[in-house]
Structures are given as structure tokens and as C-alpha cells.
Structure 1
Amino acid sequence: MQSNSDVVDKWIGMGKKEQPKHLIQFLEKVKSSPGFRGVHEFDHAKIPSLDTEEPPNCWALPIVTLTSIAIALPDIDFHLIEELIRSVYEGFMYIKLVEENLDSRNDLVYIRKAAELVWVEVDLCYKWLDVDLRKAATEGQNPKGVLEGLSEKAKERFIEFRKKDPNACLKGSPSTWPPNMLAANCMYRVCQTLLQSSDSRVFENSKSMFDRLSTMIADITGACLTNLDKVISMRCHHGTIEERAAGVRSAILLLGKTESVLHILRSQSLPSSAPDQLEKIDHWRSHSKEVDNLSCSSSSPSNCSPTSQSSSDLYLTVD
């Protein structure tokens, strides 16, 4: 009879054969962006929402929004766009896994639906809410023109959707807006943030803007996937004995599939050593601001260093 160790090794080996090679290569970008800076850079609190209140964020929606913008940039080698889409596609599967497991109260279910709505159209048709992104890329605008155009389209779409359902933003909290309105609001805010935070050189150079967007996407993806350790652990402690056995097997497979991803991410610094504070993107952003404020108010250099992830291995027990 095989020992538990042999069984674990077998399942991990099976997982390793299915590692997301495009995602792994893509996440190498986080090494040049310490602290997952893209988590903070994709939108700014000073940018107003398209309605009176601001919806929360999920991990996936800014990623698919930034990807949409990247596809619309002119003069970008189509091979680079295809590679970006493959990387986001592989990452999206694990992002969904994180959000489904850690959004236990379904607080972000409509925002997550908005991300899926956008992603299906981007992945299959190179469109964002029926806006042809590749057509936008051939219209000869520079990156600034693309951002301004998409920002205006997002605003128009939001107004159109609100006219169809005037009470959509009044029925409950912004987190329950219709998915298409959430997607439009996110695109507007991201474009406006990029317009206000980019320098003139980036506005004139599509490749520079594409590289910036790619790094932001990698940062947000990487930050989200730092939660994979917790998801893997949760799968080992869920349900009945029979369900737990199946959960352990799936956790071991997942560990094998994401071994290289986790290796990359464990070398990066985190804003907190408490995993619960980093499960959702808004928690991550809020906690990072608190850390920055404390660091700025302290005269001790040691307080300015973010918390490092533990590089210890994750151990699974097969009952």
C-alpha cells in the first residue's frame, strides 16, 4: 500500500504537469514592482464615481478593465496582446477560486459578475460592453486619446443603462448595481486615474503604456494569488469526512499546479502578516494606506519596511 507521502507526491506531480506557464512568466513582472504597487495605482480616491456613491472593488474587475485598455492601444504587436490575454486567462481561473472561497458572504457577487461579463466579451471578441477594442486600436489615436475615448464610452454606457433602469442605483448599496453599470463605472475611474497619473512620455508611447498596464495587471493578479495558500488550506478542512478527503486531493493538485506561482509570490513583501487583512482588494488597499501612514509618522527606519511573506512550505495531511 502506498504511504501518505507517496500519494501526496503523486498528486502534486499530476498538478505540476498542469502549471499555468503563461501566468508564471507573466508574474515575473511583480519582481520589478515591489509591494504590488499596481494594487494602489489602478484607481484613485479623488476620482468621482459616476453616481453619488462608490461601489467596492473585487480583484478581477480592475484586471479585466486594464486588459481591455491594453488591447485598445495602437501600434502594439498582436503577439504581445495574445500573450497578455493568455496570461490573464490562466490567472482568471485562480482569481475566481480565491474570490469564491474568500467572499463567503457574497458581498461582491455583483462586482464579480461584472468582471465575468467583461472578460467573456474581451476574451472571445476583443470587445468591452460592445465597444470594439481592436477597432479603437486602428483609429490612429495615441494612448491619451484611447483613454479619453474609453472614458467617454464608459460614461455613455453608464447613462444608457441607468436610463433603462432609473432606480438601479437607488435599490440598495452600490455593490448591488447591475453588472454592466459596475463595469462602466470601473472603466471610467481607471481611465480617469491613468489620465491624471501618467506623464506625457507615456501618453505618446503605446509600448510604454502597454508595459505599465501589464505590470499593474501582474501586480493585482499576484496580490490576489497570495491568498492561494489560505484557499488550499481551507479545502483540507471542509465538510464531511468524505468531502474532506476529496478536498484534500483537490488541494494537493492545486498546490502542484501553483507551485511556481507561489514560489514567485512568496519572495515579495506584503503590507501585513495577517492573511485576513489581505483577502479582498479593498482591504489590501486600506491596510497598505495605514502602514504607509504609520511609516511616515515614525522616525524609525525599521518601521518603513513591509512585512515579508513566510517562505515556509505548506504541508498537507492526507487522512
Structure 2
Amino acid sequence: MCVCYCWMPVFSLWISNANRNIKIYILYFKNGMWVGERTVEGFSKSVNPLIQKGAKGQPNYLIKLIREKSTVGFHGVAVFDQTDDYNIPSVPYPDIQSSNCWRLAVVTLTTIAVSLPEIEKEEVDCLLECVREGLLYVTLVEKNLNFMYDSQQAAETLWREISTNKWLRKELQNPAFQKSTAGQIVKWFRDNDATHYLEGGIWNRDMHRLICGKSMYRITETILCTYNTNIDDATLSQKELFDSLSSMIADIIAACLTNLPQIIIMKCHYMSAIKERRTRVKDAAQLLGETTEIIRLLQDHRIPRMNPSDMPFLNKWRAYFRNPSSSDEGHASLLLDVSEPPRAVDYDPPRS
């Protein structure tokens, strides 16, 4: 059995309206048979409490980040790494993949943001909590739709380091930063990364550290090229850099989370045993409750008309922004299209 929740316009069905709007639900078997209305109503009563439970645990910090910092069109996804566009030479270890991992991009940008000493501790702590909540869902997307073991393990390692105020075993609360400009701090990350590469060959270094280092190199070079003279003459303030990094972080997380509807549906696919079916449907219902507000927000962000199979991949998003098709005018919806099934059947819904 597969369960698809189709909202109009997107996930607008609230629990209190579930029975009145029952036809917004579509339930069907793998063989394409339509589940009858009586079954849908019974299933609704069974699942609604789980959706409500999820809604009580919605990620409020993440919602605030997306609402306040994310841009229409996910601009940050296009600009956070432009090493290819700027033709930056000598990007080290070209065979090491570091640019297709959502988590690694988010954590690398966060590393720079939290190192800026002029930013109030409250703002830094808030950003860290936003990222912590966001990474829970980004991880869910990556593990189900875009599994890249080395890069994702590198991101996990780097995130654990941030919790101890370190980056690749170096102190993030560097005393030298107290007298540094925003540009000088960015250059510190770039230059320390270059030193890291020159210390030894790939076989003498931990692979995860190399991946983290390459990600930092690409992002810091992009920042330096983007701001150029503002970096050199110190007119870029730490607050301006922090806000820019926060916006990119929000956009990358938001773009990744456009895949949440796929995850919700996948949780109801590929089930054989009844016990497994009930467990996965309950998980899907709770996830739906947690993320309904996020999905609503994303619908207003002009989701690009990409091939749905490309959307779990960060490099596909970046490629799209570099060369958007002229036929892709307008924006896509997170509505889940389900072809009309041929006949109705009744099925005993899973019990809570």
C-alpha cells in the first residue's frame, strides 16, 4: 500500500478539516486500485492523531530560519560555491567529491559563521539550533535519496567538531580573530586549508578531513571572489558576512527539504509485513505533522522546474542554476501527482 497526501494548494489539509475534505486524500494499492471512501475515512481517523502529535514537535527554529532568511528562488544554492564560474585554479584533489553533499555545504558555511567574534552569542546559538534542526531532515533526505557515504560522514564529523568549537582540530574561537576583519577570517580558513593539503599526500591524511578541507577551500574562494574589493578594503563587516552565510544556509536546507514529500511517500512504499506497514505509515504521518509548515513555506519559494529525479542532488540544483532551460519558465509545485486509479476497494486501515 502507498499513501499519498495531496493538499490544495500544498498540504493545506488541517486535522480539524480531515473528514470534510476526505477526497483530498488518495490511497491506493501498488496494483493501482483506488481505496474506497469508507476506508479513507477510517484511515484518516487512525492517522490524524499521529499527524497532530508531529505538529506539536515541529522544528520552530528551522521554520524561523526558512521564513526569515531563505530567499525566493533559493539564490544561496546558486552562489555558495562558484569555483567553476570564477575559474579558480588549483582546486586541490579534483577526484575527491565535496560539492554534492547538502550537509557538508551547510556545516562548512556554519563553521565560518560561528567563528565571527563580533556576532552576539545569542545569534550564534540561534543559528546553531536552526542548523541542528535542519540537519535532522537533511540527513533523512540524503540517507533515503542521495547516499554518499564519505561526504556525509565527513559532514557528521565536522558537525561534531563544531559542538566543541573546533574545525579540523583547530580552535574556532581563535584569539587572532578578535582583531581580524571578516575578509581576514575567511582568508584564514582558506589558507589553513591550503596548508592542510600541502602537509602530505592523500594517503597520509584522513579522507574525511580532506573532504571537509576541500569543501572549505571552494566556499572560501567563492566568498573572496564574490566580495573582492570589499574584502580587501575591509568594508565588508562581520555582521554582513554572517547574514549572507545565514541566508545561504537557509536556502540550501530549504532546497533540500523540497524532497520531503518524496520521503513521506517512500515511507509508505516497499512494505510487505503488516507490522512494518503500520510502523512506516505512522512514521510518515508524524513526519508530515512535523513538516507541514515547512512545506507550506517552500511552496512560496518558486521551486525550479527540475526533473523530480534530480531534486535530491545538490550538484543537479547547481547545474540547473548555471544553465536553466528556457522552457522552464515559472515554477514547480510540491503537489504530488497521482494518476487516477481504475477501481475502488476497501482495506482495513492500520490501527494506532
Q: TM-score range by the shorter chain?
A: 0.7 to 0.9
Kept in 2, the 8 Å contact 1:14–1:256? The answer is yes
Q: Which has the larger radius of gyration?
A: 2
**Counterparts of 1:254 and 1:288 in 2: how far apart (Å)?**
29
Kept in 1, the 8 Å contact 2:116–2:182? The answer is yes
Q: For 2:112, give the aligned amino acid.
A: I
Return closer, same or farther for 1:117/1:318 CA change in 2, 3 Å cut-off. Answer: farther
Q: Which has the higher contact order (CA 8 A, sep 6+)?
A: 2
Shift of residue 137 of structure 1?
7.2
Q: Quote the residue 1:299 is aligned against.
A: none
Compute the RMSD of aligned alpha carbons: 2.4
Q: Quote the residue 1:37 is aligned against.
A: 75
Return closer, same or farther for 1:136/1:65 CA change in 2, 3 Å cut-off. Answer: farther
Is 1:94 the counterpart of 2:137 in the alignment?
yes
The alignment's TM-score, normalised by the length of structure 2, stands at 0.77
> C-alpha deviations, 1:252-298, integer Å up to 9, x for none?
0000011111111122112225321211101111233331xx43xxx
Q: Quote the residue 2:264 is aligned against.
A: 232
Q: For 1:178, give the aligned amino acid.
A: M
Is 1:305 the counterpart of 2:321 in the alignment?
no
Q: How does 1:263-282 map to 2 (within 5 A)?
A: 263-282=296-315
Kept in 2, the 8 Å contact 1:30–1:222? The answer is no
**Counterparts of 2:106 and 2:217 in 1: how far apart (Å)?**
14
Shift of residue 73 of structure 1?
1.6
- Identity among equivalent positions (%) equals 31
* Structure 2, unaligned runs of 5 or more: 1-40, 339-347
Q: Secondary structure at the match of 1:239?
A: coil
Q: Secondary structure at the match of 2:72?
A: coil
Q: Secondary structure at the match of 2:179?
A: coil
Return closer, same or farther for 1:263/1:135 CA change in 2, 3 Å cut-off. Answer: same
Q: How does 1:56-205 map to 2 (within 5 A)?
A: 56-103=99-146, 106=147, 108-122=148-162, 124-135=163-174, 138-160=177-199, 162-163=200-201, 165-166=203-204, 178-198=207-227, 200-201=229-230, 203=234, 204-205=236-237
Q: Quote the residue 2:93 is aligned against.
A: 51
Is 1:245 the counterpart of 2:278 in the alignment?
yes
**Counterparts of 2:176 and 2:122 in 1: how far apart (Å)?**
14
Larger helix fraction of residues? 1
> C-alpha deviations, 1:45-96, integer Å up to 9, x for none?
1234212435242111010000000011231111100000000000001110
Q: Quote the residue 2:43 is aligned against.
A: 4
Return closer, same or farther for 1:29/1:304 CA change in 2, 3 Å cut-off. Answer: farther
Q: Secondary structure at the match of 1:155?
A: helix
Return closer, same or farther for 1:29/1:159 CA change in 2, 3 Å cut-off. Answer: farther
Answer with 230-239 or 212-221: which moved more. 230-239
Return closer, same or farther for 1:72/1:306 CA change in 2, 3 Å cut-off. Answer: farther
Matched length: 292
